[in-house]
Chain A
Amino acid sequence: MDQIFINIITFKATNKMTMNKSFLLLCSILMTGFSAIGFAQETPTERAPGHLNNNKFKQLYEEFSTPNSYRTASGAPGVDYYQQQVNYKMDIELDDKNQKIYGDETITYINNSPDALEYLWVQLDQNIRKKDAPALEKNGSGMSPLAQPGSFAKDFLESPFDGGFNISEVKDANGRALKHTINMTMMRIDLPQPIKSGESYQFSIKWWYNVNNHVTNRARSGYEYFPEDGNRTYVIAQFFPRMAVYNDVEGWQNYQFWGNGEFALNFGNYEVNLTVPADHIVDATGVLQNPKDVLTRTEYNRYKEAQNSFDKPVIIVTQEEATAKESQFSDKKQTWKFIAENVRDFAFTSSRKYIWDMMAVQVGPRKVMAVSLYPKEGNPMWEEYSTQAVAQTLKTYSKFTFNYPYPKAVSVHAKNQGMEYPMICWNYGRPNPDGTYSDRTKFGMISVIIHEVGHNYFPMIVNSDERQWGWMDEGLDTFMQYLTEQEFGAAYPSAIAPLEKYPSRRGDPSKIVPYMAGNQEFISPIMSNPENVFQLGPNAYAKPATALNILRETVMGHELFDHAFKTYAQRWMFKHPTPEDFFRTMEDASAVDLDWFWRGWFYTTDYVDIGVKSVKRYYVSPKPGAEVDELLKGYGMTINDLPPDMMFMVAEDSADFDPNLANADPMEQSQSLKEYVMDNYSETERNNMEVPKYFYEVEFEKPGGLVMPLIVEYEYADGTKERVNYPVQVWRKNDASVKKVLATNKELVGIKVDPDAQTADIDTENNSWPKQESQTDFDKFKEKIKG
């Protein structure tokens, strides 16, 4: 193509060139049908202003930061990559009677960075629940002309919840008080001396806070109160002062916790003693160190038995036993000891209401315990599906990323919420009070368990910064959730019967269309901070998950995608990746240029809309048509300047079209073609030659801003169909439309763009030729009720 540009310029510059050369030029123009001849014809009356490189395929140099020795251009950790390590030793007490938590923690901070640190930042996430927390006022408010009494009372009558950390002391290893300053949810500790590179520093914090009701407050952490028996189930997380991350991209990540953007955390080892009422059952991040001390003999025997039960869960505490404890309210205390290695956080759950089951799962070389805790209110559904869903998640995720490296994965029943922590997560899904439940409740529960257990991979192990990039864990996890749900359906057909496929809520391209077609005022690019987007669900979960699904199914194919995705997961396992590390690795490991895809899907709110604009049939003609004259005029030539052996094509709708051509053999309509073939091919070759009878010029249009591969299905008069995938690169020189020539032996009767709805095309009204009214849900429904 570049050659033609040069030819045109040369032609204009040297008008005295030989005729022969200009014929060659013309031939090449005619044969390629190159549309840029407009350049040569342009009259310089109105000169368009210049512009920057706005090409959709422009590489992302401006958006990406310059690669360096911390992070390479290939998307891998660089030679100087570092990350801090933080170890915690904690004594925690849960006061069930007064709903308070007390903690005494010793933090060992290991400075692996090349920099000396003069202060440390500690995250105080609970402070978002302080009465005067700025987060409570982060949104504007308006007086509503109508209100529910409940919400009115909550707004104007109730006194606000008295939450947030009460920090009793911050002191160094020698017991000396350390100067500290609290700014909302962040606490700066000023050090007597900077911590040099390679040094470690130990200090401790003592604190307590009032535990909130997570159901009425709709929080990630807190308790649910059961008025029938007066008990609470606690799901406790971001409950202790945690070190902020210091790294090469953010310095200190001390962006305040405003509620939406989740967490940025360091890897480290935890030793935690949890003191709770003696009749509580506890589970947490890490391995229980003293099961013999805290379990009854019967429970302990079942606990041991479960370690080798690979086919079905063993129930450690039965529903009958748990229900019997509901009225006990023990005054005694018991301490559960946990040790967790190489985790980025610690969470726990505690209640006397818990039923507890677990089974062993073989994941690669490792035995992993899949565990569930739930009150009787979760049964019978939880007993039947929770631990199975955990097991399936470990299997599928391990296959696509790396073998699950932790010793256990726990699913805890929590009303109305799904939330993830290392090795443990909270999941919703509650049957009706009479124990019945709908398919929807069941699939909702299985899906949320897969999603939250799956978060062990993203962001617990592939430890992205959630405070800054919600999609990096939510999007990747929702994509993996889709793959797991589909495998769960295949592995347990009876669990999804009578359906044939697991009813995944997100992942399928058609499901993202309503969001991407929506009002642009309320859509943000995926590359936005979670605090500042309008609809976090589609923005950080569904759209990136769908984008990855489209990459896998349509742009890259399974083999290239799966290898690149696995490479990313393995490169950044137990490390802190950025979006660029993901984008770069996906290209680096596949040799598929994806800058156009990241730019369109992740950096803009553009949408896909590709259609077929026109179809023109051409015939080989003995005489030149008006189109040829027009073309030659642009070069100041006439038909007489052409050599005698040219071929001519005439469009069906042009004035020069002779209807007699319709049924003629193209070979018979061009003497020069016939002679050329006689002179250049042997008799055998000629006999094997198929002469196409039908020539079509199809123009595709692209009203949408996103470029995508052009997937076309051609349908012929004999009923056969042909699928052609034009590469996305067809759009690189004209973003609005592109023409393609189809030479065939069969008459073309129909064209469909994206026939299997693989691209999330938001408007399918232009996807067919001849134009077809696409059937809306409404049309289909009406047809159905008509019978």
Chain B
Amino acid sequence: MMKSLGLQLKIALLSFMALALFMALVPQDNHKFYVSTTTLDYRPQNQQIQITMQLFIDDVQAVLNQRYDASLRLAPDNETDRIVAYLEKYIRQKFVLATPEQELEYAILGKEYRNDLVLMYLELPMESLPDRLIIKNQILFDLFDEQKNILHFKNGAYRKSILLTAANPQEQILTTAN
């Protein structure tokens, strides 16, 4: 198992390097970094996986503007039904969780703004934890070539982190240490 884990990491690393093709001309000074972070926290006592997704507001607004409606403005005091609907539609299309057997259905609880970030809260009911979980996260890959999505899976003390890119948008992880 250790061997295959190492291999997975290598693959992730390679595809990550691959993505940075156009970085040569990127100004690095205080410019934006195309990264999202998602934590999947398994809570056996609640029988669920609690998912917290951190995205840059500017990026989310840009993708909603380009895909659906150029007039949408994301702001804490501007919470319209259309923003909620488009965002849900987008998240469900781009963020998929599954076991090797079936797709898993999560609830979108809502979102919060914090500085330049939007935090999305998702909840996945989970009576018994499957051995393997397939995580696909293509959020913002349609907007930026350089977008990287980092995911941390937590099950008690066990941690598993993956890095997804357009070239490698999904991975299967083990949900426990053995």
| Residues in chain A within 8 A of chain B (CB atoms) | 128-129, 133, 135-136, 138-148, 151, 155, 214, 217-220, 258-260, 262, 416-420, 432, 436, 438-440, 443-444, 448, 451-452, 455, 470, 474, 503-505, 514, 517-519, 521-522, 530, 534-538, 541, 776-779, 781-782, 785
Contacts and interface: CB of A to CB of B under 8 A. Distances in A.
A505 B58 CA distance: 14
B112 to A, nearest CB: 6
B84 interface: no
B28 A260 contact: yes
A534 B73 CA distance: 32
A432 B71 CA distance: 10
B31 interface: yes
Interface string B15-33: 1111111111111111101
Of B18, B21, B119, most A-chain CB atoms within 10 Å? B21
The list of the 9 closest CB pairs from A to B, nearest first, reads A142-B18, A519-B161, A418-B30, A537-B33, A220-B27, A259-B24, A135-B24, A778-B50, A139-B20
A519 B152 CA distance: 8
A438 B145 contact: no
Contacts of B167: 142-145
A260 B23 contact: yes
B13 interface: yes
B30 A541 contact: yes
A781 B25 contact: no
Nearest to B9: A521
Contact of B41 (A133, A436, A778): A778
Contacts, number: 146
B40 to A, nearest CB: 10
Contact of A781 (B21, B119, B166): B119
Contact of B110 (A138, A140, A258, A785): A785
A518 B25 contact: no
Given A418-B31, A521-B9, 16 more contacts: A135-B24, A136-B24, A143-B167, A419-B27, A419-B29, A420-B29, A438-B73, A452-B30, A470-B28, A474-B29, A514-B54, A518-B152, A522-B16, A541-B30, A778-B52, A782-B109
A438 B75 contact: yes
B25 A128 contact: yes
B166 A146 contact: yes
Contacts of B18: 139-142
Interface of B: 9, 12-31, 33, 35, 37, 41, 50-52, 54, 57-58, 73-75, 109-110, 112, 115-116, 119, 121, 141-142, 145, 150, 152, 161-163, 166-167, 169
B27 A219 contact: yes
Contacts of A440: 57-58, 75, 115-116
B109 A785 contact: yes
Nearest to B10: A521
B24 A138 contact: yes
B30 A448 contact: yes
Nearest to A138: B24
B110 A781 contact: yes
A537 B161 CA distance: 19
A140 B167 CA distance: 12
A107 B163 CA distance: 48
A725 to B, nearest CB: 29
A269 B30 CA distance: 28
A530 B28 contact: yes
B27 A417 contact: yes
5 contacts: A136-B24, A416-B31, A418-B31, A518-B161, A536-B33
A618 B18 CA distance: 60
A418 B116 contact: no
Given A142-B14, A419-B29, A519 B23 contact: no
B92 to A, nearest CB: 18
Nearest to A534: B16
Given A218-B26, A438-B75, A451-B30, A144 B161 contact: no
A16 B20 CA distance: 73
Contact of A144 (B9, B30, B74, B166): B166
Nearest to A703: B157
Contacts of A155: 21
Contacts of A444: 58, 116
A146 to B, nearest CB: 6
B161 A146 contact: no
Contacts of B51: 778
A139 B33 contact: no
A781 B150 contact: no
B115 to A, nearest CB: 5
A218 B25 contact: yes
A133 B30 CA distance: 25
Of A135, A136, A519, most B-chain CB atoms within 10 Å? A519
A218 B27 contact: yes
Contacts of B162: 519
Nearest to B150: A518
B17 A151 contact: no
Of B37, B54, B115, most A-chain CB atoms within 10 Å? B115
Given A146-B141, A448-B30, A530-B28, A522 B163 contact: yes
B169 to A, nearest CB: 8
Contacts of B33: 535-538
Nearest to A470: B28
A259 B37 contact: no
A763 B1 CA distance: 27
B29 A777 contact: no
Contacts of A138: 23-24
A142 B15 contact: yes
A776 B109 contact: no
B13 A521 contact: yes
A142 B50 CA distance: 33
Given A148-B142, A448-B30, A514-B37, A776 B116 contact: no
Nearest to A784: B112
Contacts of B112: 777, 781
A156 to B, nearest CB: 12
Contacts of A536: 28, 33
A144 B167 CA distance: 5
Of A144, A417, A418, A538, most B-chain CB atoms within 10 Å? A144
A781 B109 contact: yes
A505 B116 contact: yes
Contacts of B15: 142
Contacts of B75: 438-440
Nearest to B58: A440
Contacts of B57: 440
Contacts of A538: 33
A468 B103 CA distance: 48
B17 A140 contact: yes
Contacts of B74: 438
A151 B20 contact: no
Nearest to A217: B25
Given A518-B150, A781-B121, A782-B121, A220 B166 contact: no
A218 B32 CA distance: 11
Contacts of B73: 432, 436, 438
